[in-house]
Structure 1
Amino acid sequence: MSDLRIVSLIPSATEIVHSLGLSDRLVGRSHECDFPESVRSLPACTQPQFDPNGSSPEIHDRVTELLQSALSVYRVETELLRELQPTHIITQAQCEVCAASLAEVEAAVAQLSQSQPKVISLQPSVLAEVWENMRLVGEQLGSDAEDSIASLKQRVEEVRRRVAGQPEPSVVCIEWTEPLMSAGNWVPELVQLAGGVPYLSEIGQHSPWTRWESLEAVDPDVIVVMPCGYDLQETQEDAKHLTQHPVWPQLKAVQTGRVYYCDGNQYFNRPGPRLVDSLELLAEILHPSCCDFGYRGTGFSTI
């Protein structure tokens, strides 16, 4: 489809488009889309309506205030969309805190009188739904996703082969540090595939707020910190909200040195093809003796 003009309003969708070999058809992106590197030069069609800089409690308070005031967390740049004249806009209906909502995108599209782009909405919560999203995007854009999916599934099976028969540590993944939130949706599934047993969240269910008492009661073998939207350095800096809590030094994972800080922004927070990278990263954390994929120092650290 030589006339394709794609705007992706969520990083995972941008990465799906890239996996389909259609990066050159992208004409716009969200303010958070940064992979592959080439998309950074594209105009940003969304902007946050809050200051995204600051600590986890500061950001939580800003977003909560917007939501309680019935205001949108993100702004869709309608005039820019009018200039770009996209044929397709890819968005999400997963989380109104993560990216512009489907309703906001549809409202913006309704104002584009000269063009009516096709809106593709994604809402995956487990790996199988990521594969289906890739197929959906491929079908809508005239590109076959099956080879890409098959390659990703082969990598999943390779991880499963490597960790088969290994001890299964108990694992808690933390998606937000203050207030405390454990990572849900696809993350517990990744933990299982990587040879661990997930606690404080359920496969396919939204990430739940949790309590320190619950974390203390579970006392997992491994804690993986992956705050939504934070890179590795930001995660390390924000970890003070964990390390300064009186329960923290009493936890088994802390005492045995099995706490890991991750680049959640590039990996676990994006339900696209790089969830398989996230799986490999987790397997390297949980079973370093049989899984060395090269993520230490770039995707995760222990400091």
Structure 2
Amino acid sequence: MPSQRIVTLLPSATEIVCALGFEDRLVGRSHECDYPPSVTRLPALTAPTFDVEGTSAEIDARVRDLVGRALSVYRVDAATLAELRPDVIVTQSQCDVCAVSMSDVETAVSRWIGARPTIVSLAPRRLEDVWKDIETVATALGAPERGVELADRLKRRCAEIEKRASTLSEHPSVACVEWIEPLMGAGNWIPEMVAMAGGVNLFGKAGEHSPYVQFDDLARHDPEIVLLAPCGFPIERTMKEFALLKGKPAWAGMKAAREGRVFVADGNHYFNRSGPRLVESVEILAEIVHPEVFRFGHEGSAWRRVSA
């Protein structure tokens, strides 16, 4: 098979392509694709159609307004995409507010003359879907064996953590927060990851979208651990938003706050990117849930304990 020109329009797809050894074939990316750092040299082919600055509540309101008016949350630079002449475009159909949608991509290439690119659309909801997506991308790039090898290696790393955590006597309750205002728990693959790390997930079900959570319900469940990892937010941005929770009257009385087991993680690079680094996300959870057993070196760079 001749060398293919690849465009990836979501961060996890970029990470998958690079982990498979095809970074040299990438010719374009989304505006959010920033890992490995070397991909930032590539032209960004997408942009949000709303102001991404502001609080989580302000961002939520803007996105709701666009979705309510049946407008796209992101735009595709169709002209530059056509100039790049990709053979393969990797996009997603799992979440219209997380990245460019499949329909956005189809619209962008609908008027192309000549050969059309192969469009690979990813829609993971559980960890097993992520491993299958890796194999799907590898197959589309003509190297199915690379996908099988990478997926197997990632699964083994997760299994090793799960096996060790399963032998521990304590399994603390964990509330993972994917958005702060409005408050949301974490669904999809994250409940599975919490279990692998030896915790008991309180909000969100594996394979289902992240649920809205009332703060009173959070306080009533009184989690032993609270992990804040808002989608798309780096640690420093989440630290600023933390005041919204810390200011709630019932916050100080919650067990996680009293015992100093409130944590902030990089929700931009980990947890919400359905690619190879979900394994690092399991490692982060293991360090947080069972620090007496697991040490992978992620503290400080990928997660921090916060003063509650």
Establish whether TM, by shorter chain, passes 0.5: yes
1:189-208 matches, cutoff 5 A: 189-208=192-211
Letter in 2 for 1:135: E
Q: Deviations over 1:93-139 (max 9, x none)?
A: 11111001111111111122244110000001111111110111010
Letter in 1 for 2:106: E
Percent sequence identity is 48
Q: Which residue of 1 aligns with 2:44?
A: 44
Gaps of 5+ in 1: none
Q: Distance in 2 between matches of 1:217 and 1:251?
A: 9
Provide TM-score, normalisation by structure 1. 0.98
Q: Distance in 2 between matches of 1:197 and 1:218?
A: 12
8 Å CA contact 1:85, 1:115 repeated in 2: no
Q: Deviations over 1:277-297 (max 9, x none)?
A: 000000000001110000110
Q: Distance in 2 between matches of 1:93 and 1:250?
A: 41
Q: Which residue of 2 aligns with 1:247?
A: 250
| 2:241 paired with 1:223 | no
Q: Which residue of 2 aligns with 1:99?
A: 99
Q: 1:281 aligns with which of 272, 277, 284?
A: 284
Q: Distance in 2 between matches of 1:25 and 1:268?
A: 26
| 2:18 paired with 1:15 | no
Secondary structure at the counterpart of residue 178 of structure 2: strand
Q: Deviations over 1:192-248 (max 9, x none)?
A: 000001011111110011111211121111110000000111111121121112221
Q: Which residue of 2 aligns with 1:35?
A: 35
Q: Distance in 1 between matches of 2:183 and 2:86?
A: 39
Q: Which residue of 1 aligns with 2:152?
A: 150
Task: Decide which moves more: 267-276 or 110-119.
Answer: 110-119
Q: Which residue of 2 aligns with 1:134?
A: 134
Provide TM-score, normalisation by structure 2. 0.96
Q: Distance in 2 between matches of 1:170 and 1:41?
A: 42
Secondary structure at the counterpart of residue 81 of structure 1: helix
Gaps of 5+ in 2: none
Q: Which residue of 2 aligns with 1:163?
A: 165
Q: Which residue of 1 aligns with 2:212?
A: 209
Q: Deviations over 1:14-63 (max 9, x none)?
A: 11101110011000000000001111010011100011111101111111
Secondary structure at the counterpart of residue 71 of structure 2: coil
Q: Distance in 2 between matches of 1:190 and 1:170?
A: 13
| 2:271 paired with 1:268 | yes
Shift in Å, 1:154: 1.7
The runs of 4+ residues in structure 1 deviating greater than 4 Å are none
Q: How many residues align?
A: 303
Letter in 2 for 1:266: H
Q: Distance in 1 between matches of 2:111 and 2:273?
A: 29
8 Å CA contact 1:162, 1:291 repeated in 2: no
Letter in 1 for 2:72: S
Shift in Å, 1:161: 2.8
Q: Which residue of 2 aligns with 1:64?
A: 64
Task: Decide which moves more: 19-28 or 139-148.
Answer: 139-148
| 2:119 paired with 1:116 | no
Q: Distance in 2 between matches of 1:132 and 1:164?
A: 25
Q: Distance in 1 between matches of 2:42 and 2:4?
A: 15
Task: Decide which moves more: 147-156 or 260-269.
Answer: 147-156
Shift in Å, 1:3: 2.7
Shift in Å, 1:168: 0.4
Q: Which residue of 1 aligns with 2:296?
A: 293
Q: Deviations over 1:255-286 (max 9, x none)?
A: 11011000011000101111000000000000
8 Å CA contact 1:226, 1:268 repeated in 2: yes
